[in-house]
Each structure stands twice: as C-alpha cells, then as structure tokens.
Amino acid sequence: MEILNVIVAAIAGFALGAVWYMALAEPWMDAANIKRGPDGKPEGGQDPKLFAMTFVLQLVVAGMMRHVFELAGIDTVGKGIVAGVGIGLFFISPWIGINNLYGGRPAKLTFIDGGYATLACGVMGLVLTLF
C-alpha cells in the first residue's frame, strides 16, 4: 500500500506544479530567460517527455520522503506537513539557490522555484501521512 501513497503524493506535487507555474508563467519565463516565439510561448513548445520525466522525478522525491518519514516516525498529518515544508524550504530551496547563484540567475527565479519546492513537499508530506 505504501507505493500507492508515493504515487498519489507524486501526483499531488505534479498537479500543484501545474497550477503554480501556470499562475507564475510570465515571471518565471522572464527570470529563467526562456526564449519565446511570437505567440509568447516557449520556442519549440514543450516535449511531452519533459512532463513524463518530471513525474518520474516527483516519484523519486515522494519515495524518498516516505522512506525518511518511516525512519523518523513521522506518522501524523501535522508532522507530515511540517516535515515536508522543512524538506522543501531547508533542503531543496537552498540547493536551487546555490545552482542559480552559480548560474548567474536572478533571485526571483530562486523564489519562484523554491516556493514551489516548499509547497509541493508540504503537499507530499500531507498525502504521505493521510493513509
């Protein structure tokens, strides 16, 4: 049954990403310096493989979070949310920030991507502790 938790958590994180990046598409594309076509969308469109690989990576994150939660005894919704937000805010977001610093990318990009990582891990933590 644990695999179902991981899959649902990955779906939740992926869905949140869709909403987050649709809402912040313009500032994210500006901060990430995404080249756009005349229609304002990214040049060349987006390959479906990008979304498939994103989901696979969401599974990796959710699976590791489940493992860590099991080892740490995180077994309530409150603990799951707090631990998930902590993972996003204090592990993933700083790493995004480091990558963006060395890449010469704007802090705005770090805040957008780090904000998503924080919220998505919080949602994953919630889902992983619901079942």
User: What is the pLDDT confidence band of residue 1, given thresholds at 50, 70 and 90?
Assistant: low
Q: Token pair for residue 102?
A: 């060395």
pLDDT of residue 39: 86
How high is the mean pLDDT of the chain? 96
Q: Is the pLDDT score of 18 beyond 90? A: yes
Tens-digit pLDDT profile for residues 63-95? 999 999 999 999 999 999 999 999 999 999 999
3-state secondary structure of 55: helix
Kindly report the number of other CB atoms within 10 A of residue 34's CB atom.
12
Tens-digit pLDDT profile for residues 23-34? 999 999 999 999
* Selected residue with higher pLDDT from 93 and 1: 93
Q: At what angle do helices 48-72 and 2-23 cross, to 10 degrees?
A: 130
